[in-house]
Structure 1
Amino acid sequence: MKEKRFEVVFSQGTMDVVRILVDQVTGVNYLQVCNGYAGGLTPLLDREGKPVISPVKPYHG
């Protein structure tokens, strides 16, 4: 079975949704916001303005 590249590690809301996704290849965390028909995606940054990077398992996608 093919693994998913992006994993949802946090989700909040049903109509106005906020999610944190982790790229299973790079470990980079992304913030996704969906509000009705609008939405956006951006890298999640730490206090110093650097991308938040999580440890990842080897990807076999």
Structure 2
Amino acid sequence: MKEARFKKTYSQGTMTVTEIWVDRNTGVNYLYHVNGYSGGLTPLLDREGKPIITAVYDE
């Protein structure tokens, strides 16, 4: 079976949820936030506006 492209690395909350997901192909970190019926996804950026990259290792 093919491994999932995204991996959840952080989760906080139950009704209001904040999660960080890492793209295993690129290493780019994404922030996902949901509250009730609305939510959003955006890349995490550093102070210079560049995407935060996590080294991707085979597990």
With the length of structure 1 as denominator, give the TM-score of the two structures. 0.89
Q: How large is the Cα RMSD of the aligned pairs?
A: 1.0
Count residues in correspondence.
Answer: 58
Structure 2 equivalent of residue 57 of structure 1: 57
> Which ranges of 4 or more aligned residues in structure 1 deviate by more than 2 Å?
none
State the identity %: 66
Query: Larger relative contact order (C-alpha < 8 A, sep ≥ 6)?
Result: 1
State the distance in 1 between where 2:14 and 2:23 align.
23
State the distance in 2 between where 1:9 and 1:56 align.
12
Structure 2 residue runs without a partner (length 5+): none
Q: Secondary structure at the match of 2:42?
A: strand
Q: Deviations over 1:16-44 (max 9, x none)?
A: 00000000000000000011110000000
After superposition, residues 10-49 of structure 1 pair within 5 angstroms as: 10-49=10-49
Report the Cα offset of residue 48 of structure 1. Answer: 1.3
